[in-house]
Structure 1
Amino acid sequence: MHIRTAVQADLKALAAVEAACFPPAEAADEASIARRLAVYPNHFWLLEDGDTLVSFVDGMVTDEPILRDEMYDNASLHNEQGAWQMIFGVNTIPAYRRRGCAGQLLERVAADARSQGRKGCVLTCKEALIHYYASFGYRCEGVSASTHGGVVWYDMRLTF
């Protein structure tokens, strides 16, 4: 397996993995992913097994310390020189879960963000996953203001 950043030709595969990983109310649709890819393809980390996309992590960079719902669909908020790497989704297709795929990507994202001089990484997660992200050094900052998908999210931060 290998990790690389995205190119425009990955759009359909990214949309398919996203749809397989999140309920419709939470998943980014193809148009949203296309807008993100057009602005920050180098902030999509893809894990492939041969020619198969099995997992990916994506998110914009910003000076804002909190992930806001508007960021998911407004790619123009991306600031390549920003202090914080936002993580919008950690996606692994069902057949590859519990094999460390997401963990490999989370470690790579953190390493890249650190080498780019960022302050850290920010994500939101459901309560059941707080312990998972904590195992990578993320700290829970409480219930998020996010209403994305109509569920309760928790703000998580990895500070370098």
Structure 2
Amino acid sequence: MEHMQIRMAMIDDLDAITSVEADCFPPAEAATKEEFARRIKAYGTHFWLLCEKGYEGEKLIAFVDGMVTDKKDLTDEMYENAELHDEGGAWQMIFGVSTLPAYRRNGYAEKLIRYVINDARAQDRTGIVLTCKESLIHYYEKFGFQKEGISESVHGGVTWYQMRLTF
């Protein structure tokens, strides 16, 4: 992983981010290019990219993004309304953990999640909240996230489970 770099998203990354998202989620669940543009503008410092450095430049292989808020639970409105971001908020939300399929099972998402956890701790957040599908509950539990039950989210017509890591 020495040729990997974690950095914050910039608007120039929009096409790459949208492409990775489309490779990771079905259309009903994937964020749009316009939504990502609003997210980067509203909270680019909470939009972490894992890039592979090579001879031909940089390739985005994974990212994690999410706003900060004082609201305790992740809601569907947060996905759609980046302006709800509150830099002084207690909770770091995670809207997505996206890794290109060809790069999965190499520890890249784990590296990125641990980086996000460290950032949120360093920023004195109360903790991190995310939602995931049932099959990923055990994955997030290894980072210390606790399952809180089925989320109110109906995003993409899927059942989501809310997970919380409290510092």
Normalised by the size of structure 1, how large is the TM-score? Answer: 0.99
The answer to whether structure 1 residue 34 and structure 2 residue 45 are counterparts is no
Q: Distance in 1 between matches of 2:24 and 2:36?
A: 14
Equivalent of 2:117 in 87, 102, 110: 110
Aligned twin of 1:96: 103
Amino acid at match of 2:32: D
RMSD: 0.5
Aligned twin of 2:10: 7
Amino acid at match of 1:49: E
Aligned twin of 2:59: 52
The answer to whether structure 1 residue 123 and structure 2 residue 130 are counterparts is yes
The answer to whether structure 1 residue 43 and structure 2 residue 50 are counterparts is no
Aligned length: 160
Normalised by the size of structure 2, how large is the TM-score? Answer: 0.95
- Give the superposition deviation at 1:155: 0.4
Amino acid at match of 2:68: V
Aligned twin of 2:23: 20
1:77-88 alignment to 2 at 5 Å? 77-88=84-95
Q: Distance in 2 between matches of 1:17 and 1:33?
A: 12
- Secondary structure of the structure 2 residue equivalent to 1:124: strand
- Deviation per residue, 1:66-93 (Å, 9 max, x gap): 0000000101100000000000000000
Q: Distance in 2 between matches of 1:81 and 1:42?
A: 13
- Deviation per residue, 1:93-146 (Å, 9 max, x gap): 011000011101100101000000100000000000000000111000001110
- Deviation per residue, 1:8-32 (Å, 9 max, x gap): 1001000000111000000001010
The answer to whether structure 1 residue 61 and structure 2 residue 64 are counterparts is no
**What residue ranges of structure 1 are gaps of 5+ in the alignment?**
none
Amino acid at match of 1:80: E
Amino acid at match of 2:25: F
Identity of aligned residues (%): 62
Question: Structure 1 runs of 4+ off > 4 angstroms?
Answer: none
- Deviation per residue, 1:35-94 (Å, 9 max, x gap): 101111111110011101000000000000100000001011000000000000000001
